[in-house]
Amino acid sequence: RQQLEAEISKNADLFAWSSADMPGIDTNFICHRLAIHREAKLVAQRKQKVSGERREAIIAETQKLIKAGFIREVQHTTSLANVVLVKKSSGKWRMCVDYTDLNKESFKTRKNGSKGGGAGIILDGPNKVTVEQSLKFDFKVTNNQAEYEALLAWLRITQRGIPDQEHPSIEILTYSIFTIHHIPREQNVSADLLSKLASTKCPRQHRTIIQETLNSPSLDDKIVNVSESAERGWMIDIWNYLKEGTLPEDKDKARKMRVRSAKFIIIDNDLFKRGISIPLLKCLAESQATYVVEEIHRGICGMHSGARSMATRVLRAGYYWPTLKSDCQAYVQRCKECQQFGNTNRQPPEVLHQMMSPWPFAQWEMDILGPFRPAKGSSKGQWADELPSILWAYHCTPQSTTQEMPYRLTFGADIMILVEVGETSHRRHAFDNEQNAQEAAVILDLIDELREEA
């Protein structure tokens, strides 16, 4: 058997793996005839007409879903079903939308380039159509470069379709908008195997898989021009005025800029705002603000608080940007856990009456303790994995008995939350290791007084 397998592998190029390996054969023998009337007219679903009252309800509900980030505009509108409105008993309208066909319209790509020497690409399309490609690199690449080359290879597939086909049986459209998500390796086994195949197997041995060898990187440019205006965002005008004294040409705008810039200061190439609750607030760009909001809301110390409470916690952590309050409110509205487990209106339809006879509870020797609120996470039985984060949150939360944090009663100092490590705050930016060790020793000597007061 081993000898037979070795002989087949040795003469792999002599076998006809596809119709492209059999030149000279009439296509009538290898192609199936589809009974399609080419002159038939394409049929698309017509737009349904609705009354004025229903049209207003549709516009209002659609704007709410777009603002919450739940839906977005798509280009393939003919594949969507018309909305259906059902009138409620309260007089309002309920809008129903069918998303079934929309989920089947685009290819889903899985890529892996973490293994040295190769990368694998898998396109999962509608109607259970799967396209596989194996890449081999003839040059040294890092993990990030391999991932980038795999992404560029996927974009090339979408532009040229499936190669080695005289009449491609699969047509892949070029999309103007696509989304990239990270998939863990344990959930991306197929692409991982393709990357190993590219670095271990001989070329042309697996003709059922699209194989490609890259002899050089797709992009050789070494110089990258980063725009400071795009990076700093709303801070660019204030930054230019404080650094170079640049003012707008309009007199009113220039006067407003001078008044506004008086509240800001640049320290070590970072812009800070002079605050009232906090002396210095670090100014963040849009990408930095997104990380801070997510970390404070659902991070290791997050408790899925409301918009006002979350905005206050961001200020206490030492950060600022102009749309802080509205961004926190929008994030809470998009948070699935907050909407699922948030407080709902359960006001009774009539006045409640007191129950004067407590004898059932006295007989059972029990009292009402509930209702117990469900947890806002999805850990379920995996409580052991969540225990370290719960203990950390407990140690940095003031207790009702002592009004102090257990961490402060142990070490005598306030804790530094993780968001200040991910996005450097002012006190971490001015951190001095030698001075901190001396201050920590002094605090530990005075910690007994703090414990007695607690």
With a cut of 70, which residues of the chain have pLDDT below it?
18-20, 27, 29-30, 32, 34, 44-45, 74-82, 97-135, 137-145, 148, 151, 153-231, 345, 355-381, 442, 445-446, 448-449
Q: How far apart are CA 149 and CA 321, in angstroms?
A: 36
Q: Name the domain boundary from 185, 214, 243.
A: 214
- Pick from 109, 107, 208, 216: nearest CA to 164: 208
**β-bridge mates for residue 62, sequence order:** none
Counting other chains too, the contacts that 323-330 makes at CB distance below 8 Å and 24 or more residues apart are 324/289, 327/289, 327/293, 328/293, 328/297, 330/67
For position 293, what pLDDT does the model report? 92
Quote the pLDDT of residue 292. Answer: 92
Q: What is the pLDDT of residue 331?
A: 92
Query: 124 by DSSP, 3-state: which?
Result: strand
Are 189 and 244 contained in the same domain? no
Does residue 317 share a domain with residue 295? Answer: yes
- pLDDT in the model for residue 159: 54
The 3 state secondary structure assigned to 326-383 is HHHHHHHHHCHHHHHHCCCCCCCCCCCCCCCCCHHHHHHCCCCCCCCCCCCCCCCCCH
Question: Of 44, 73, 100, which marks where a domain is finished?
Answer: 100
Task: Please tell me the predicted confidence (pLDDT) of residue 203.
Answer: 47
pLDDT of residue 223: 47
For residue 277, the domain's CATH number is 1.10.340.70
How many domains, the chain?
Answer: 3
Start-end of H helices in 217-358: 228-232, 236-244, 251-261, 286-298, 307-317, 324-334, 336-341
Domain assignment present for 153: yes
- Do 115 and 208 fall into the same domain? yes
The answer to whether 297 and 310 are in contact (CB under 8 A) is: yes
pTM: 0.39
SS3 295: helix
Residues 89 and 111 both lie in one domain: no
- Residue 195 covered by a domain: yes
- Do 176 and 195 lie in one domain? The reply is yes
Residue 266 three-state SS:
strand
Q: Find, among 273, 266, 275, the residue nearest to 244 by Cα.
A: 266
Q: Residue 131: beta bridge partners?
A: 123
Closest CA relative to residue 176, chosen from 76, 71, 67: 76
Domain ranges, residue 59: 52-100
Residues 85, 120 share a domain:
no
Domain membership flag for residue 264? yes
In a domain, 144, yes or no: yes
Integer Cα distance of 271 and 259 in angstroms: 16
Q: How far apart are CA 14 and CA 220, in angstroms?
A: 38
Q: List, in sequence order, every residue forming a beta bridge with 112; answer none if it has no partner.
A: 120
Asked whether 115 and 127 are in contact (CB, 8 A), the reply is: no
Looking at 340, 359, 392, which one is the last position of a domain?
340
